[in-house]
Amino acid sequence: MRTTTAILLLLILLMVLLRACVDGYRPVIIVHGIFDGPKQFQTLALFINETHPGTEVTVVDLYKHMSSLKPLWKQVQNFHRAIEPIMEKARDGVHLLCFSQGGLICRALLSTTPNHNIHNFIALSSPLAGQYGDTDYLQQVFPGCVKDMIFLVCYNRVGQRVSICQYWNDPHHRPSYLKNNKFLPVLNGDTPHDKIKSWRENFLHIKKLVLIGGPDDGVITPWQSSHFGFYNSKERVVEMRNQEFYRNDTFGLKTLSARGDLSLCLCSGVKHMHWHSNFTVFTNCIEKWLT
């Protein structure tokens, strides 16, 4: 009888410990990129559940495929509505894992949401400092156009209704970019506005910022944009720490780095559409941040 009781107590203890372990994993919210949808992230969700069993993984089912071209501030507003209930239920916070254009949406969510409980923000191959390059994606949106001429399309009221135009950062037409782009220079604090201070405070609520990218991406141009680097007027890449928004700490990037809460992960040999299905990328750059 005593042996049976001891075994039952042991089983109960193991169940409690297992539940505590499972409950220890914060929910993960995944935001897809341009022309993507939840289907493309099934493998990534599988990776998470195989390594961290019981994790609640949500791939937000909004602005799929061609609708991903809609204006980014509108997307930010509706993505916020979708993830707010998940955040409210998560006592210990959530993780944001955002791919490509989704990384910009998540950055804007962080900055514009007071008192959020987003723990770690992982930006997976995202054009965080902008995009400037002739790629297949660009040709899908503007067939026959070359990068040198896209500013004529993007830097006006009509062009700013297309998502890619809102992070198109032409280094040869910076005054026009700062004046007419209504998303990225505002988000980076390159264009002054009355919410810079509060947005910076909101952004700094996160515990870790993880930036993932690599030289063989083939879409993010320059690829260093995924690490907040970008071209100067001579199309030479200026790395993150020499960017004006970093030196001036306009949205908190320098502060995060000084806190030791900025992690850069570089992976070679990974094409843009393979980041979220590459297990090596997951184990080397993502897994440890999802506890």
Residues marked as catalytic: 100, 217, 272
Spatial CA neighbour of 129 closest among 228, 264, 5: 228
H, E, C per residue of the chain: CHHHHHHHHHHHHHHHHHHHHHHCCCCEEEECCCCCCHHHHHHHHHHHHHHCCCCCEEECCCCCHHHHHCCHHHHHHHHHHHHHHHHHHCCCCEEEEEECHHHHHHHHHHHHCCCCCEEEEEEECCCCCCECCCCHHHHHHCCCCCHHHHHHHHCCCCHHHCHHHHCECCCCCHHHHHHHCCCHHHHCCCCCCCCHHHHHHHHCCCCEEEEEECCCCCCCCCHHHHHCCEECCCCCEECHHHCHHHHCCCCCHHHHHHHCCEEEEECCCCCHHHHHHCHHHHHHHHHHHCC
Structure tokens at 188: 């980076």
Cα 266 from Cα 182, distance rounded (Å): 30
Cα 35 from Cα 264, distance rounded (Å): 26
Return the residue matching tokens 């896209």: 150
